[in-house]
Structure 1
Amino acid sequence: MPIYDYHCQTCGHPFEALVRSSTIPACPKCGSTTLDKRVSSIAPAGKIEAIRMAHRRVAAAQGHLDHYSPSDKAKLLQGKKNI
């Protein structure tokens, strides 16, 4: 289920909601279902890089990077400055 940003037309309250595409959420402030779905902002570049590196460390710990040479594996785990 994706997270969507909403803006309540009744009270003006902005909020996020984790909903299925067929579900209409209610405003947590006033309970109205008259909402505008907004475009969600993306995560800042530094945060995306940190998430990507965390996933690479987990993959390395689980042995998923074992088919890389030691030097390539080191480059992958150091981040994008060496790629």
Structure 2
Amino acid sequence: MAIASLSPLPAADEVSLTAASALFAETGHPIAVKVLKRLCLRHGTSVWRVGRDDCASWTDLLKLHAAWVDAREARG
């Protein structure tokens, strides 16, 4: 799945939460769009709207997802 940059601002690595969720599902660790947005808000990661899509920095989402997966695996 290819992801096109939606705009040069506010992040160079901007991705929609919907696209990020689809990519994370391919890793074997799916996460819902609502959970991604909640993680962003909880950890102070910027989320902005582009049209109808919520977007965030792909780098930030990767870090949040990794921490989320680690926490889930630690709980058993």
Q: TM-score, normalised by structure 2?
A: 0.29
Report which of the two structures shows the higher radius of gyration computed on alpha carbons: 1
Q: TM-score, normalised by structure 1?
A: 0.27
* Greater length-normalized contact order (CA 8 Å, ≥ 6 residues apart): 2
